[in-house]
Amino acid sequence: MEFVLKVLSITEVTHDVRCIRIEKPAGYSFIPGQATEVAINKPGWEAEKRSFTFTSLNDDPYLEFTIKCYTDHPGVTGEIRHLKIGDELIIDEAWGAIEYTGEGFFIAGGAGITPFIAILRQLYKDNKLGNNKLFFSNKTPADIIYEKELSAMLGDNAVYVLTSENGGTYLHDFIDETFLGIHIDDYTRHFYICGPDKMITSISEVLTSRGAKPDAVIFEK
């Protein structure tokens, strides 16, 4: 089922990331971590659907997406950058395999943080964040999505890793086998991974080779 929904607000999150809030249909629901197919309701764009994760909570009166807008080539996210309040998006029902199943480690690369935003916001709201820990990799500090909010929720359990710059309290490193060997001390916990396909594959292989149960390593398949 498709829904045509008006844009309610647009907020700049980083230099190339936008937070888009749209109308929420009556009865529409999703599980934190899920996504939907989105298209722009403009001539020539209606059939160009892309998957985006909800970053709002299910009980919010709106639907929210946090979208990285690529401008190096013509495409949907570049067009999203030019949306205005009152424009319309076309969305489908919710879907997705990333769902919180227990305390553990969240490992994200760039815009791969988006499935974890709603999960962490819901846990924080419910006072159930516990000892969940986030490792969030970006090129530079300017690329970190919702850094202040994540730090406010997670405190020292929000660990930021930079691949292109070295400075301040950030780690200058790559989340690879060596990094995981240093920073992961318990492979019996749950692992949530989202980022570039190559990153997901390599991290999943390292975790399972070190004893993590395959069904406890959760990512979008």
CATH number at residue 205: 3.40.50.80
pTM: 0.94
For residue 70, what pLDDT is reported?
Answer: 81
Q: Same domain, yes or no, for 119 and 200?
A: yes
Write out the residue range of the structural domain in which residue 55 sits: 3-91
Q: Does the pLDDT value for residue 72 go beyond 80? A: no
Phi, psi of 143 (to 5 degrees): -90, -10
DSSP H/E element including 49: none
Q: Percentage of the chain with pLDDT > 70?
A: 98
Bridge partners (DSSP) listed for residue 154: none
Of the three residues 49, 64, 91, the one that is the final residue of a domain is: 91
Of the three residues 59, 91, 123, the one that is the final residue of a domain is: 91
Phi, psi of 104 (to 5 degrees): 175, -140
Average pLDDT, the chain: 95
Inside any domain, residue 99: no
Q: Identify which of 42, 187, 15 has the alpha carbon closest to the alpha carbon of residue 104.
A: 187
Q: Please give the distance of CA 46 from its chain centroid, rounded to a whole number.
A: 24
CA distance 73 to 133: 35
For residue 168, what pLDDT is reported?
Answer: 78
Q: How does pLDDT run across 140-186, given as a tens digit for each residue?
A: 999 999 999 999 999 999 999 999 987 678 999 999 999 999 999 99
Q: Which residue has the higher pLDDT, 139 or 73?
A: 139
Q: Same domain, yes or no, for 210 and 113?
A: yes
Q: Same domain, yes or no, for 83 and 108?
A: no
CA distance 28 to 194: 25
Q: Does the pLDDT value for residue 73 go beyond 90? A: no
Could you give the residue ranges of the DSSP H alpha helices within 126-194? 147-154, 177-183
Q: Does the pLDDT value for residue 201 go beyond 80? A: yes
Residue 87 is which amino acid?
D
**Mean of the pLDDT values across residues 102-111?**
97
Q: Does the pLDDT value for residue 115 go beyond 90? A: yes
- Structurally, how many domains does the chain consist of? 2
For residue 221, what pLDDT is reported?
Answer: 67
CATH of the domain at 31: 2.40.30.10
Residue 145 is which amino acid?
I
Q: Contact at 8 Å (CB) between 100 and 32?
A: yes
Q: How does pLDDT run across 47-71, given as a tens digit for each residue?
A: 999 999 999 999 999 999 999 998 7
Q: Same domain, yes or no, for 87 and 108?
A: no
Q: What token pair was written down for 105?
A: 């480690």
Q: Same domain, yes or no, for 128 and 41?
A: no
Q: Please give the distance of CA 219 from its chain centroid, rounded to a whole number.
A: 11
